[in-house]
């Protein structure tokens, strides 16, 4: 009797299971420029798999036009929600208007956009890039006694992290007139870019360089390699500060090869999907929510290593 009931219950539940379609989410990722980005893509993919979400993942290979094309294709496919990590800040309004007309909510992650119409996206989830740049500058001022000549390795031109980290750092230096940026170039957030630009800086400015400020760890690690190849000791002959706190950089700080890295946590897959679920259920979500980030230097890097997740 009991087994007959179980059989009947199973048979009734079956059509419901078949009817419950998985959530379909399109994610327009920037590319794979850095270890941070790889960790971010992994977090989005792994969490989608865990929750049974059908994730349509698009790698734009660093080109905004590819991202816009991916968003249009998500709209045509009628996905439930679109997630974008915008490569650059400008140029998003037309495609976001198309998504709005199709009634597909857009969630911006990682990077913000510049728009006069904030109704074009449901919300933003990521880090406060301005705060990261300020933390890097404050650390530098404290540990150099407010004196030194700096070269800056910028991220992708026009991207929110490059714009905000540059501005925050420059704003903070206004209180420290003896900390001066003598050159600033983009290494595109890539390790090879950081190395190439640092080689050019060393050729041009030689021993006039005392400090390197890199907008991310990959460029800082590339610069460290260029400094070693020039016969100098990164972290000792030249102070290096950067942003992201990927495990490799935290280890380099513990080893004394880099001096400080400000965290920018990429592991927001769970938060993004929780937010998508709330939006689709008609709940109100905060328009902008920022991760809380820490800073690692010689005082805490070694202790942080065993629990570093990315
Ligand atoms: O937008 C976040 C930045 O993009 C990270 O700092 C960098 O590593 C990445 O490529």
Candidate from 86, 131, 155 with most ligand 1 atoms within 8 A of CB, to mutate = 155
Burial classification of residue 28, based on how many CB atoms lie within 10 Å of its CB (0-12 exposed, 13-18 middle, 19 or more buried) = buried
Distance 118 CA to ligand 1 centre (A): 23
Burial classification of residue 149, based on how many CB atoms lie within 10 Å of its CB (0-12 exposed, 13-18 middle, 19 or more buried) = middle
Ligand 1 proximity of 201 Cβ (cutoff 6 Å): no
Distance 22 CA to ligand 1 centre (A): 30
Distance 161 CA to ligand 1 centre (A): 7
Candidate from 34, 84, 108 with most ligand 1 atoms within 8 A of CB, to mutate = 34
- The Cα–Cα gap between 44 and 40 comes to 6
The pLDDT value recorded for residue 1 is 43
Q: Is residue 305 within 8 Å of 79, Cβ to Cβ?
A: no
Strands 81-84 vs 54-59: parallel, antiparallel or unpaired? unpaired
- The Cα–Cα gap between 85 and 33 comes to 13
Ligand 1 proximity of 189 Cβ (cutoff 6 Å): yes
Which ligand 1 atom is nearest residue 85's CA? 1
The pLDDT value recorded for residue 19 is 59
The pLDDT value recorded for residue 3 is 46
The position carrying tokens 């679920």 is 277
**Residue 264, phi then psi, degrees to nearest 5:** -140, 95
pTM for this one? 0.93
User: Would you write out the chain's pLDDT as a tens digit for each of its 310 residues?
Assistant: 444 444 444 454 545 445 578 999 999 999 999 999 999 999 999 999 999 999 999 999 999 999 999 999 999 999 999 999 999 999 999 999 999 999 999 999 999 999 999 999 999 999 999 999 999 999 999 999 999 999 999 999 999 999 999 999 999 999 999 999 999 999 999 999 999 999 999 999 999 999 999 999 999 999 999 999 999 999 999 999 999 999 999 999 999 999 999 999 999 999 999 999 999 999 999 999 999 899 999 999 999 999 999 9
Q: Is residue 199 within 8 Å of 191, Cβ to Cβ?
A: no
Q: Is residue 29 within 8 Å of 41, Cβ to Cβ?
A: yes
The pLDDT value recorded for residue 21 is 87
The position carrying tokens 């030249």 is 238
Candidate from 189, 191, 193 with most ligand 1 atoms within 8 A of CB, to mutate = 189
Please give the helix or strand (H or E) that residue 255 lies within, else none: none
Strands 260-263 vs 295-297: parallel, antiparallel or unpaired? antiparallel
Query: Three-state DSSP class for 57?
Result: strand
Distance 3 CA to ligand 1 centre (A): 56
């Amino acid at each position: 009797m009991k087994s007959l009931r179980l059989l009947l219950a199973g048979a009734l539940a079956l059509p419901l299971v078949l009817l419950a379609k998985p959530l379909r989410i399109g994610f327009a990722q920037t590319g794979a420029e850095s270890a941070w980005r790889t960790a971010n893509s992994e977090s989005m993919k792994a969490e989608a798999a865990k929750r049974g979400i059908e994730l349509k993942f698009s790698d734009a290979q660093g080109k905004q036009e590819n991202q816009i094309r991916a968003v249009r294709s998500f709209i045509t496919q009628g996905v439930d929600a679109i997630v974008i990590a915008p490569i650059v800040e400008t140029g998003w309004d037309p495609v976001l208007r198309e998504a709005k007309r199709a009634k597909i909510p857009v969630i911006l992650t990682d990077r913000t956009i510049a728009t006069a119409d904030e109704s074009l996206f449901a919300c933003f989830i990521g880090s406060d890039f301005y705060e990261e740049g300020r933390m890097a500058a404050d650390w530098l001022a404290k540990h150099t006694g407010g004196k030194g000549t700096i070269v800056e390795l910028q991220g992708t031109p026009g991207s929110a992290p490059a714009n905000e980290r540059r501005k925050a750092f420059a704003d903070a230096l206004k209180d420290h007139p003896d900390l001066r940026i003598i050159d600033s170039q983009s290494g595109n957030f890539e390790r090879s870019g950081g190395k190439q630009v640092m080689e050019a800086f060393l050729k041009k400015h030689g021993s006039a360089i005392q400090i390197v400020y890199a907008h991310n760890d990959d460029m800082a690690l590339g610069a460290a390699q260029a400094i070693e190849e020039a016969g100098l000791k990164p972290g000792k002959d030249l102070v290096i500060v950067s942003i992201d706190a990927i495990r490799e950089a935290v280890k380099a700080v513990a080893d004394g090869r880099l001096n400080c890295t400000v965290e920018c946590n990429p592991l927001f897959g769970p938060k993004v999907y929780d937010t998508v679920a709330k939006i689709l259920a008609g709940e109100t979500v905060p328009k902008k929510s920022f991760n809380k980030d820490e800073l690692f230097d010689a005082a805490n890097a070694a202790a942080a290593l065993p629990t570093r997740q990315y």
